[in-house]
Amino acid sequence: MKREQGFSLVELLIVVAIIAIIAAIAVPSLLTSRMAANEAGSIQGCRTVASAQVAFAATNNQMYTDLATLTTQNFLDTRYVAANGFNGYTYAEDQAILGLPATVPFAQPDGFGITADPISGYGRYQYGIGPDQVVRFQSAPFGDPAPGNMVAGDGIGIRN
């Protein structure tokens, strides 16, 4: 009597096909979930920068500063000024949040404006925060539709 051991080629191909189908379903969901997690992290990052600005202002005669100074004086982690950012976002000063045109020098002492800009493939939306401590939707730089009916300047988590 012949004893067969192992699996046949057809059985192995069926298992590989099933795994490929499951992966094709799961990978897009995983990438979308990662993007949503990066976006949530960027919103929290904006809040962290704003808290650091308030802490700096409390110890420096109610005057705000830039990200580099917040980092060198240990109010913020160095990841906030790194060119490659973290969690799929980079952070930068943005005077438009203060309502200033780009031609006006940045008004650091009177206020601050910080944007969290997505790195392509890691986030869909740009967020910003100013002295009012409200994280706001800024734009969808890669052509994705805005979440819900949001327009630039709408607060995140605020019902209108």
Backbone dihedral angles phi then psi of residue 118, each to the nearest 5 degrees: -75, 145
| Model confidence at 159: pLDDT above 70 | no
Average pLDDT over residues 54-63: 90
Assessment of whether the complete model's pTM goes beyond 0.85: no
Q: Provide the residue ranges of all domains of the chain, joining segments of one domain with +.
A: 9-139
Write the DSSP assignment of 37-85 as a string of letters.
HHHHHHHHHHHHHHHHHHHHHHHTTT----HHHHHHTTSS-GGGT-TT-
Q: What confidence tens digit (pLDDT) does each residue in 87-131 have?
A: 899 999 887 777 666 655 565 677 888 999 999 888 889 999 988
Average pLDDT over residues 71-86: 90
